[in-house]
Amino acid sequence: MIPYMWIGDFVRCYSVVKLLRQRFPNRPVDVLATRLCAPLADYMPGVREAIVFDLPRSRLALRQQAALAKLLRKRGYGIALVMPRTWKSALAPFLAGIPQRTGFVGEVRFGLLNDWRWGERKLPRMVDRCAALALPRDTALPAEWPLPELHVASAEIAAWRQRNGISGEQSAAVVLAPGAVGPAKRWPASAYAALARQLLSGGLAVWVIGGPAEKSIAQAIVGDTAARDFTGTDLREAILALAAATAAVSNDSGLLHVAAALGTPAIGIFGPTSPWHWAPLNPIAATIQADIELACRPCHKPVCRLRHHRCMVDISPEQVFAATCRALAATAPA
């Protein structure tokens, strides 16, 4: 299976793994993964192995494609599901000689694919497009897809807590995920900082997660408070923090999908993007949007073209704090 390699899309594509396991219960399912996304596969039941291979995004890289094809050929796969519609995403399965290569027609891939699917643009959501490839041709799509799930062993969570000096008896923790692809999708760091102070004043622990690009944002949020900065290069740390947390607050980003797939109550902050299109399939505790009418919303643009960014800046910390408190109350023992 060749999924999209953004974190949220990788999680979303786990629905496809479930469909394949239902359809072919005796056949193993492997997933191509980048080094960034590979840790997710360790927590996906039904995935036998992640084939970790980083291909350049901006060029064809024939030498690397040939190396990947050699790797795939050794494993003797019978079917390759190619979810991205780019020409280069179908090249390695073709060079590997995988007998059935399924994908939507795009970028004139008639020679690379031999199980062509049509009608991709008529399917409104990414999960509809990806999961349709796991079904026989011309099958009617179900009303609902299997939900993604990530399972982390309690022993691994306990080890992460111990490694970071967090005892099991400490107060409930809220994870903040302030990153996103494109500044338009990011709730301001000052708003996250205000939310962190409110949570800390209520006796809650606050952990900030994200990649290296979020390090400066995390430092602005943490400041001189007792909040913890867990941003870094290893996605596994963010997965374990979310698994250990009581709740999570996240922009529309991959980490929101991770939280939802783990079953951690999540508050998703949406500005320029549509929750119907991009929210996790799994239920989340709350969807937060600015309570104003904006003709430009949703624009689905990474940068606010009108420069006012009101779909995000008009969301108050108090609004998110209230939603977080409700989520925490719902998880409290009766």
Average pLDDT over residues 181-190: 94
Task: Report pLDDT for 100.
Answer: 97
- Rounded Cα distance between 112 and 175, Å, is 43
Lowest mean pLDDT among 15-19, 193-197, 295-299, 304-308: 304-308
Amino acid letter at 174? V
308 pLDDT tier (thresholds 50, 70, 90): confident
* Contact by Cβ (8 Å): 250, 181: no
As a 3-state breakdown, the chain gives helix, strand, coil percent values, each rounded to 5, of 40, 15, 50
What is the DSSP-derived secondary structure letter of residue 173?
E
**Which pTM does this prediction carry?**
0.95
Question: CA–CA separation, 166 vs 192, rounded Å?
Answer: 22
Beta-bridge partners for 50: 31
Q: Would you state the pLDDT for residue 32? A: 98
CB of 301 closer than 8 Å to CB of 184: yes
- What average pLDDT does range 233-261 have in this prediction? 97
pLDDT beyond 90 at 37: yes
The DSSP output letter for 138 is T
Domains of the chain and CATH, by start: 7-132 (3.40.50.2000), 154-331 (3.40.50.2000)
Q: What confidence score (pLDDT) does residue 167 get?
A: 74
At 318, the pLDDT band (50, 70, 90 cuts) reads very high
Task: Give the H or E element holding residue 267.
Answer: strand 266-269
Q: Residue 62 — very low, low, confident or very high, per pLDDT cuts 50/70/90?
A: very high
- Looking at the chain, the whole-number percentage of residues with pLDDT higher than 90 is 83
Q: What are phi and psi of 293, to 5 degrees?
A: -85, 125
Query: Which of 261, 238, 235, 260 is closest to 175 using CA atoms?
Result: 238
Q: Is the pLDDT of residue 121 over 90?
A: no
**pLDDT at residue 171, rounded to an integer:** 74
In this prediction, residue 169 has a pLDDT band, given cuts at 50, 70 and 90, of low
DSSP 188-239: PHHHHHHHHHHHHHTT-EEEE---GGGHHHHHHHHTTSS-EE--SS-HHHHH
The more confidently predicted of residues 105 and 235 is 235
* CA dihedral over 178, 182, 183, 184, signed as positive or negative: negative
Residues 6 or more apart whose Cβ sits within 8 Å of residue 12: 126, 127, 130, 148, 257, 280, 281
